[in-house]
């Protein structure tokens, strides 16, 4: 690293990452973006998200995989073989963090439980990402995002107005839990500076997201006995959605009294500012359906551009209701450089999503693109102290695997 280049906040932290799909990889990419050396351990078939998230110029490099696995290196070991397992233990002994999203029984069968690894690394942080907490009756059940959207009552919220339950078309439980995982690991790293020693973390996705849904919608049932039904009516009303204009949709939210009064002026209905149903927040709770209905009627009278300009003039929070395509063309996205075209060694031109967080002394960079399966196996084993002959023997015996990205590119 150039002496003039600021050191990334997590430089020097080594993470052995056994996760796949979304929750684990998104968590470890967050840490990788801040400078951690994330070693992505895959089996020869690779992370499932390589294959179930659309096509790519070369096999196994789907867009979703690439957007969650940049700044990592890929290592392939067969943990069911003696030498593959020994190599893993050697890597675990020199890592700060081991993280997985397999069921605990599977980790125990492989002989890489917290107890086994902390015996070779007395300061290891060992993070279990599980579907359900180990102390409950659902422990060891498999879990996917859609399963948890239903189980945490999120899907049922769509049925509040006579619709059917449905999933949010975004893996919201996985993505949110991933941030909780990254947060827990950062706390554990800080705790190590005060009191060294092995630490085991468990992040249960079901309970973690259930807490969020309940904190949002428990509402009057927060009290015993309940003082009103559950559910935030401001969020569940049928008109609590993008508002239809004469030629499209607009997103507008007015939470404060001042914003609501300004909205009445913007709509040309200043007399409503004296209406006791709407001019105080506590009153609006009981008349929210009427307020939303009135808002919808007025906004339908003009086009989207009119309302964007009009509402901005009155300092009312509003934005266009983007599609994925129009979001990419949003001028603010261009201003901040969030999406940039990069040249990938094997995938051609790709849209790279930059880290939006800014911090003094922190300059997030694309250190290396998302890896092919086992792309860095020889490099990582060499760093761990294995000789080249030993590595070649492991590769030939199927105890490790090394891909050649150029061969993959040529194959297409």
Residues 351-377, buried b or exposed e (16+ Cβ, 10 A)?
A: ebeebeeeeeebebeeeebbbbbbbbb
Closest C-alpha to 41, from 89, 111, 109, 2? 89
Residue range of the domain that includes 264: 243-320
User: Which pLDDT score, from 0 to 100, does residue 409 have?
Assistant: 59
Residue 9 lies in a domain: no
CA distances from 207 to 13, 106, 127, 359 (A): 29, 21, 16, 31
202 and 68 fall within a common domain? yes
Neighbours of 271 (CB within 10 A): 8
Same domain for 206 and 276, yes or no, is no
CATH number for 286:
3.30.1540.10
Of 273, 300, 320, which residue is a domain's last?
Answer: 320
Cross-strand bridge partners of residue 350: 342
How far CA 342 is from CA of 109, 329, 351, 359, 404, in Å, comes to 42, 17, 6, 23, 21
Q: Which two tokens stand for residue 260?
A: 């609501």
Residue 168 lies in a domain: yes
Domain boundary among 320, 335, 351: 320
In a domain, 347, yes or no: no
Asked whether residue 338 is assigned to any structural domain, the reply reads no
User: Quick check: is 229 in a domain?
Assistant: no
- Give the CATH number, domain containing residue 81: 3.40.50.10540
In a domain, 302, yes or no: yes
Q: Are residues 258 and 185 in the same domain?
A: no
Q: Are strands 97-100 and 37-42 parallel, antiparallel or unpaired?
A: unpaired
Q: Which of 320, 341, 370 is the last residue of a domain?
A: 320
User: CA-CA distances (angstroms) from residue 405 to 7, 74, 369?
Assistant: 29, 12, 12
Global pTM?
Answer: 0.94
Same-domain check for residues 33 and 176: yes
- pLDDT digit string (tens) for the chain, length 412 residues: 344 556 899 999 999 999 999 999 999 999 999 999 999 999 999 999 999 999 999 999 999 999 999 999 999 999 999 999 999 999 999 999 999 999 989 999 999 999 999 999 999 999 999 999 999 999 999 999 999 999 999 999 999 877 899 999 999 999 999 999 999 999 999 999 999 999 999 999 999 999 999 999 999 999 999 999 999 999 999 999 999 999 999 999 999 999 999 999 999 999 999 999 999 999 999 999 999 999 999 999 999 999 999 999 999 999 999 999 999 999 999 999 999 999 999 999 999 999 999 999 888 889 999 999 999 999 999 999 999 999 999 999 999 999 987 765 554 4
Listing from the earlier edge strand, what are the strands of the sheet with 318-320? 243-244, 249-252, 318-320
- How many structural domains is the chain composed of? 2
Shared-domain flag, residues 189 and 90? yes
* One domain, residues 204 and 248: no
Query: CA 134, CA 113: separation in Å to the nearest integer?
Result: 14
Cβ atoms of 156 and 230 within 8 Å: the answer is: no
Same domain, 44 and 175: yes
Give the model's pLDDT for residue 135.
96
Q: Are residues 31 and 179 in the same domain?
A: yes
Residues 125 and 252 grouped into a single domain: no
- Are 34 and 70 in contact by the 8 Å Cβ rule? The answer is no
**123 and 265 assigned to the same domain:** no
Q: Is the dihedral of CA 150, 108, 27, 352 positive or negative?
A: negative
Give the model's pLDDT for residue 37: 98
Clarify whether residues 18 and 115 are in a common domain. Answer: yes
- Whether residue 124 is found in the same domain as residue 185: yes
Domain assignment present for residue 139? The answer is yes
In a domain, 329, yes or no: no
Which of 49, 143, 127, 131 lies closest to 95 in space, CA to CA?
127
Distance CA 251, CA 322 (A): 9
């Amino acid at each position: 690293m150039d002496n003039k280049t600021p050191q990334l906040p997590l430089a020097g932290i080594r993470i052995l990452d056994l996760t796949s799909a979304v929750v684990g990889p998104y968590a470890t990419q967050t840490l990788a973006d801040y400078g951690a050396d994330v070693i992505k351990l895959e089996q020869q078939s690779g992370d499932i998200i390589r294959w179930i998230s659309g096509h790519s110029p070369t096999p196994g490099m789907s867009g979703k995989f690439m957007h969650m696995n940049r700044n990592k290196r890929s290592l392939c070991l067969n943990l069911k073989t003696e030498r593959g397992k020994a190599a893993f233990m050697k890597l675990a002994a020199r890592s700060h963090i081991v993280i997985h999203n397999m069921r605990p029984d599977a980790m125990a069968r492989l002989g890489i439980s917290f107890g086994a690894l902390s015996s070779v690394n007395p300061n290891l942080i060992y993070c279990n990402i599980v579907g359900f907490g180990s102390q409950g009756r659902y422990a060891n059940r498999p879990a996917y995002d859609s399963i948890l959207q239903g189980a945490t009552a999120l899907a049922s919220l769509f049925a509040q107005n006579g619709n059917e339950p449905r999933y949010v078309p975004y893996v919201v439980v996985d993505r949110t839990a991933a941030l909780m995982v990254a947060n827990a690991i950062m706390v554990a790293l800080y705790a190590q500076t005060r009191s060294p020693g092995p630490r085991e973390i468990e992040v249960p996705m079901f309970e973690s997201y259930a807490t969020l849904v309940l904190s949002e919608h428990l509402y009057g049932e927060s009290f015993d006995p309940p003082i009103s039904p559950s559910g935030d009516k401001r969020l569940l009303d049928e008109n609590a959605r993008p508002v239809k204009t004469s030629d499209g949709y607009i997103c507008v939210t007015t939470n404060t009294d001042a914003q609501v009064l300004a909205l009445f002026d913007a709509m040309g209905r200043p007399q409503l500012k004296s209406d006791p149903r709407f001019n105080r927040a506590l009153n609006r709770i009981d008349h929210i359906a009427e307020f939303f209905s009135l808002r919808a009627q007025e906004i339908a009278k003009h086009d989207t551009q009119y309302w964007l300009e009009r509402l901005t003039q009155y300092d009312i929070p509003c934005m266009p209701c983007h599609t994925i395509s129009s979001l990419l063309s949003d001028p603010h996205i261009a201003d901040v450089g969030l999406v940039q075209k990069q040249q990938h060694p094997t995938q051609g031109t790709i849209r790279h999503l930059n880290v939006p967080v800014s911090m003094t002394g922190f300059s997030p960079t694309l250190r290396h693109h998302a890896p092919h399966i086992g792309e860095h196996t020889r490099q990582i084993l060499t760093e761990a102290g294995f000789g080249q002959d030993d590595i070649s023997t492991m590769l030939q015996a199927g105890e490790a695997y090394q891909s050649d990205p150029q061969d993959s590119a040529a194959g297409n």
